[in-house]
Structure 1
Amino acid sequence: MMCGGGSEVRDADDTVHKICETVKSQAEQQAGKTYDVFVAKKYMRQVVAGTNYFIKVHVGGEDHVHLRVFKPLPCNGGDLELTSMQKDKSHEDSLELF
């Protein structure tokens, strides 16, 4: 993977599930609602001055959201931050950099 480029899309793993758990409240605040279901399905990464995670999350029924979560470099400290969210997505929508 090239710096600034996106990785291939992969199935969500334990690391990505933990990231989703961490930013769920931020996502709910941005969406203005609570999610009973919030399960990561797919993800891709982008290496910048840290890592952007682009995550497809199932939020119930046929609904999905796409999250962009920034993880700073360990030397810079800081917490995971939900930097962008795309709502009204479906299972079929491809995960892309945004």
Structure 2
Amino acid sequence: MLEVAVTTRLVNEARRTVARRYGIALVDLPSQWWEVFPHDSDPVWKFCVGRAIDEAAWRIDADPSWLRPLMKNLRRAQMRVLDRAHELLREIAEDAHPCRF
């Protein structure tokens, strides 16, 4: 069975379907800054982003719970966190499929 994370993109698709079916107006919800296609549909992606935020906070000797709400306004930090999350996702994928010689 394929697992897919529920993302704002999927929620908006469902909202558009409901709006068409019932003839009502529903506005799309804004996506979260970390919902980056194609990774946003991977159930592990949100964990990787969270871990990358934790690591960024620890580097500046801060509590991750302090940094998390600030991330939506820190564009450069977002890019660094997304880059690190991508590295973590790659590491997890490599660990799941070890190379056999």
TM-score greater than 0.5 by the shorter chain: no
**If each structure's helix is expressed as a fraction of its own residues, which one has the higher value?**
2
Larger radius of gyration: 2
The TM-score range, normalised by the shorter chain, is 0.3 to 0.5
The normalised TM-score by structure 2 is 0.32
The normalised TM-score by structure 1 is 0.33
